[in-house]
Structure formats: structure tokens, C-alpha cells
Structure 1
Amino acid sequence: MDQIIEFFKHLINPEWIIQNGGFYLILAIIFAETGLFIGFFLPGDSLLFIAGIYGEMLGESFFNMPLVVIMTLIAITGVLGNIVGYWFGRKSGPILFKRKDTFFFKKKHLWQAKEVYDKYGGGAIFVARFLPVVRTFAPIVAGIVGMERKKFMFWNIIGSFSWVFSMMLAGHYLDKAFPTLKNHLEWIIIIIVVITTLPVAIKFIFGKTTIHSHFDEFGNPIEAPVKEKEEEIKS
């Protein structure tokens, strides 16, 4: 049991992941965090940033591939992860709203992702890429609400490549500008985690949601959303 707990501790340590698991473990974590609801706790943003810092080492460990190839493969993995999440949402969406909360699954995360979807529409898939936890559940919610496949794939691809390339290039070039950056990885991870999770935490703690006024605990609509009501009144 202690070994399992220790392993999970390592899974949220980006530096350990890169030094011990290498490129293949990075792919597995990005896939899980972007499409499997059990991967919501994994360190996507900080992992990509530090992967950019160690980009040359990753390339050497993977057939001496250049950084652009490494980033492309990771981005494609993110696309595939979202496709799995979307498919899962299409097939088992209603069941998720009846599922009891566990350590790996919280219905509140579905509601968070639904709020982002309602606010940004199709672009929610893009926006969610840069929001921890939400990016795990956004494709699942897109599947649940029946988002058009072509629209989903467009925002899925754009979002994944933008997220991966921006985070990894930031780490890569900052390391070039500040060679001692590797000596302060603990602080970098903390800063990235705070910056990326703070908006989600503030919204969750202090934000008000109207979702529960439109859907019951099983995800079934109770009443027409406000926008639909306004259109009915105008007509």
C-alpha cells in the first residue's frame, strides 16, 4: 500500500516523471489527463513546461528526434485523449450523472466543465485545454450534450496543439534565457500550479452557477435555459 501511495506521489511530480518515465510516460499522462476522468489530478501544465526544459534530453531518448517532433507527438496524444473522452461522454453520459462520487470521480467536475461549455460554446474545448481538471471533463461533457463531431475535432486539434506548443516552448526558451532555471524547478511547479488552478478554484468557491436550475442531479433538463425563454418571449 505504501508503494502505491509513493507511486501516486511521483505521478504528480513532473521532474520525476521526465527523469524516470521519459517520453512514453509523458504521453500516457497527457492521454489520461485529457480524456479519462481518472486523470484529472495529473500535472498537465507543469509537466509540459518542464518537458520543454528537458526537451533535448527527451529527443535524445526517443531516436534523437527534434523538439518539434516531440511536441507534435504529445499534441496528437492530447487530441486522441479528447476523442476518447468525447466518445465516453456520448456512450455513457447519463450514467455519469447517476454515478456516486469517488476519489477519481466527482460530479462537481462535470458541472464545472458544463459551465465552461455553456459560456464558450464550441470554443470551450479550446479554452478548457488551459484549465486544469476542466480539460479532463470538457470532452466528456461535449459528448454528453451531443456536440457536432466536426466542430469538436476542429477545436480539439487547435486546442491541443496550442496548449502543448505554448507550454513546452515557454519552458524551452526560458531555459535557454536562464540556464539556472533547472535549479528552481520546485518553485516553478508551484507557480504554474497556482496560476493555472487559481481561476478554477475561485470560480468553484465563490462563483454562482445556474446549471442546477436547468438540470436535475441526473443531467435531465428541468426548464428551458434563460436564452431560450427570452427567444420564446420575443417570438
Structure 2
Amino acid sequence: MTTPVVLSSQLAVNPLDAQSLLAAFGVLGVGAVMFAETGLLVGFFLPGDSLLFTAGLLCTGTGQHGVRLSLGPLLAAAVFGALAGAQCGYLIGRRAGRTLLARGRSARLREGARRAEELLERYGHAKAIVLARFVPVVRTVLNPLAGALEVPVRTFTVWQMTGGLVWSAGLVLAGYALGSSIPDVDRYLLPLVAVIVVLSSLPVAAELYRGRKRAAKAGKKEVRG
């Protein structure tokens, strides 16, 4: 009588847990999650950073449930999903405009849209598109927002590909490098993922810090003048 319960629990997939997704769907799941998180507003909650890092780590044979991925196909799936998703999100934004974002009921989604718009206004198209890749939720909403604001197609494409390649391949290779150099690294997976998420946000934090310093200097010059 207990067998169906056991089977159903084994087959259940937690979309918020990177290892659960990888155990269920493997490399194809990585590509699908990257596409959904960067191209479809409904994918804003998916674990992009932790999924990429964990997938890279599992390429070394480290991890639970005997899950092992191949690095080459993983990189191809991660990069393709991230780039194709962002371009799809941009095209959706061009057609649907701001009404798509305005209909969102999620507070996190609305906050992400606000932060994405701030990035575009403060840093310009190129830098904002690259930086957004490293901020959860913002990387989901910036792409359709860029389309709604009619950012030139060529500008968006060049810089989303640059940021997407660095973000997706960089996190996969970071996980792979760590898994190759530290025995039984999966024991520390949760704190490592937290560290990786923090580190991936450093480019944005550094740019915000530099922006505030420049604004402070400009303010001092105006006072002196």
C-alpha cells in the first residue's frame, strides 16, 4: 500500500531546487530553465544561478543520486537557453509593450521591473543589459522591458549575448572547477551556492558603488562652483 506513495515522492520535482531539476531533466532541463527564466515572465522564480553552478559541479561526478552531466553538452544547453530566452523576451516586449509587465501580480516581479528600468536609465543600454544578467528577477524582466522601450535590436542582441555568455558559461565553469579541485564538495553545496549567488551580484554592486562615487564627486564640484 505504501509503494505508490514512495514512487510519487521519487518522481516529484521541486522547481525551486537545482538538484531536483537536474536529477529529473539533466542537461535538457538546464536549457529549458535558462530559456524560461530569461525569456518568460513566469520563469522569474526559477533558480538560475544555483542551477548553473550545481550543474557544473555535477559534471565532475560529485553529488547525490548518482547524477553526472557532460560538460560540453551542458555548456551548449546553458548558453543556448540563456541567449535564446533573452532574445525571445525582448521580442515579446516589442509586441506586448508595457502592458505585459503592468499585468503582473507578483510584488517581486514589479520590483524587478522597477530595478531593471533604473539600470537602463542610470547605465545606458549596453552596461545595463550585461549587469542585469547577474541579478535574479531583473534578468527576467529587463529583456521584455528593453523591447517595450524600443532599445535597438542590434544593441540589445550584441550585449545580451555578451552578458549571457559570461553569466551562463562562467557559473557552469566555476562549479566544474570547484568540483574538480575539492573532494566531496557536495557536502557544502548549500553554503557554496549562497556564496556563488552573492559573488555573481558583485558586478552590479561594484557598478552601483562607482556610480555613487561619481555622483558624490559631481555634487562636490557643483558646490565648489
Q: Which category describes the TM-score, using the shorter chain as reference length?
A: 0.7 to 0.9
Match of 2:69 among 58, 62, 68: 58
Match of 2:117 among 103, 111, 114: 114
Alignment map for 1:1-235 (pairs within 5 Å): 10-55=14-59, 57-59=68-70, 67-96=71-100, 98-99=102-103, 101-103=104-106, 106-123=109-126, 124-196=128-200
Alpha-carbon offset, residue 132 of structure 1: 0.8
Alpha-carbon offset, residue 194 of structure 1: 4.9
Provide the secondary structure at the position in 2 that maps to 1:119. Answer: helix
Relative to 1, partners in 2 of residues 1:18 and 1:51: Cα closer, same or farther, differing over 3 Å?
same
The one-letter code matched in structure 2 to 1:121 is G
Match of 1:222 in 2: none
Which consecutive aligned stretches of 4+ in structure 1 deviate over 6 angstroms post-superposition? Answer: 197-201
The one-letter code matched in structure 2 to 1:52 is G
1:110-131 CA-partner distances (Å, limit 9, x unpaired): 1111111112222211111111
Between the aligned partners of 2:35 and 2:88, the Cα distance in structure 1 is: 9
> Taking structure 1 as the reference length, what is the TM-score of the superposition?
0.72
Match of 1:210 in 2: none
Between the aligned partners of 2:29 and 2:102, the Cα distance in structure 1 is: 32
> Taking structure 2 as the reference length, what is the TM-score of the superposition?
0.75
Provide the secondary structure at the position in 2 that maps to 1:179. Answer: coil
Kept in 2: contact 1:72–1:161 (CA 8 A): no
The one-letter code matched in structure 2 to 1:58 is L
| Structure 2 residue runs without a partner (length 5+) | 1-7, 61-67, 206-225
Identity %: 34
Between the aligned partners of 1:158 and 1:28, the Cα distance in structure 2 is: 20
The one-letter code matched in structure 1 to 2:185 is L
Provide the secondary structure at the position in 2 that maps to 1:83. Answer: helix
1:100-153 CA-partner distances (Å, limit 9, x unpaired): x42487333211111111122222111111111110011111101101111111
Alpha-carbon offset, residue 160 of structure 1: 1.0
Between the aligned partners of 1:68 and 1:97, the Cα distance in structure 2 is: 36
Kept in 2: contact 1:45–1:167 (CA 8 A): yes
Provide the secondary structure at the position in 1 that maps to 2:155. Answer: helix
| Cα root mean square deviation, aligned | 2.6
Provide the secondary structure at the position in 2 that maps to 1:11. Answer: coil
Kept in 2: contact 1:38–1:104 (CA 8 A): no
Relative to 1, partners in 2 of residues 1:106 and 1:172: Cα closer, same or farther, differing over 3 Å?
closer
Between the aligned partners of 2:123 and 2:202, the Cα distance in structure 1 is: 19
Kept in 1: contact 2:37–2:140 (CA 8 A): yes
Kept in 2: contact 1:12–1:43 (CA 8 A): yes
Relative to 1, partners in 2 of residues 1:104 and 1:80: Cα closer, same or farther, differing over 3 Å?
farther
